[in-house]
Amino acid sequence: MTTVITIFFIAGYCAIMFERAFKINKAGIALLTGVACWTAYIIYSPDKNEVVRQLIEHTGDFSGILFFLMGAMAIVEMIDAHNGFSIITNAFTTRNKIALLWMVSLFAFFLSSVIDNLTATIVMISLVSKIVLDREDIKLFAAMIVIAANAGGAWTPIGDVTTTMLWIGERISSTRIIPELILPSLACIVVPLIFVSLTMKGRKEGLRAPKHPSSQSVNTAHRNVVFFTGIGVLLFVPVFKALTHLPPFMGVLLGFGVMWVLVELLHKKETDNGQGNYSVHKTLSKIDMSTILFFLGILVSVSALQSSGILHELALGLEKTVKNFNVLVMSIGIVSAVVDNVPLVAGAMGMYGLDMFPKDHHFWIFLSYCAGTGGSLLVIGSAAGVVSMGLAKIDFFWYLKKISLLALTGYLSGAGIYLLFEVLSL
């Protein structure tokens, strides 16, 4: 049984890795893999009812992640529909390249901690393409935005899918991950920025005054209200969880409900055309459901490995082979540059339970950092990197030659700072 399940999982994993070569969406592959693993498990299991019970239990666990992502994506789309992110992008008026690079990167860092690294990357690269003229400079700016967005998503429970998974899975808390990871995550982008600044001339040539055209004429008051309310409800999610002890997805659904009512009230007196432009129904149609279904497929697949005992055996083997868990976690981060970090983190959660590493243990906090930032080592290692390939025309080998070493330097710097703080706190 375990051999068949493992073969199905590895085959699906390889197909996901070579998605671009096969030209098949990884969401479909992930769903097929998940169903195949559970089918093999129940066929070979003598107790069918127990397998069904385990599947239902796992479904309850990871449905919270999916509802959280859907709600958060909907809120971000509402803000974007009202051109709310222009409030941020309009702040960039400098004509110095080095200063602009720092401003853009740090904005991406903090923006991704509130929304998500993918959306932050899209917003900031779109801005850069309107300001920077030189093609090589655009690619450099975009690459630094990728590093910044991934680093920014690692230190808050809502900034990256992997940290969200760990948070909802009760492995980490917002009161621990934010203060412990903000400085290592900041170092992950600041160190590469310092190296780039030393080799980059801060001349004005190649820049133009930023313009922020909008496809719609958005009422400024409406834009501001939607933007600040949207950011506010996202920031309120950890507070809601602390006050009510309800799962985080309930806080996001509360925020989504507030935003839904707000948008309806703002546009209730407008024409049908105006309501259509800003309607929640149109917003929902823009949510990337393929990403949601990909996470569903991965979580279903990993839950099959967990229930069948494969992950437990793997954990025992790793414990005997790798004595230092810091090395193990850093290795997971580096591997996430090649393999998607979502199944890696899901696998770690399945292998190491709360009985071995309790909530807010060093292992989970460090995993949040490494899994969140390790994907920056290669352009294909994160969703932010992949989208930059299309927006800024970055190719794999250019990134490998120009950026990977910088990203590795930042990754190791942040990891070193975190481990140093851990030693000093003992």
**pLDDT (tens digit per residue) in 292-342:** 888 788 888 888 887 888 877 776 676 677 778 888 889 888 887 876 677
Beta-carbon neighbour count of residue 300 at 10 Å?
Answer: 22
Instruction: Answer positive or negative: Cα dihedral of 85, 88, 93, 95.
Output: negative
Predicted pLDDT of residue 213: 44
Predicted pLDDT of residue 212: 46
| pLDDT classification of 349: cutoffs 50, 70, 90 | confident
Only one residue has tokens 């690619």, namely 139
Closest CA to 92 of 197, 192, 209: 209
Whether the pLDDT of residue 214 is over 50: the answer is: no
For 326, the token pair is 């810091």
**pLDDT (tens digit per residue) in 103-147:** 899 989 998 888 778 778 877 887 787 777 678 888 999 999 999
205 Rama class: left (phi>0) / alpha (psi -120 to 50) / beta: beta
Rounded to a whole number of angstroms, the distance between the first and last alpha carbons of the chain is 44
Helix axes 310-321, 289-307, angle to 10 degrees: 80
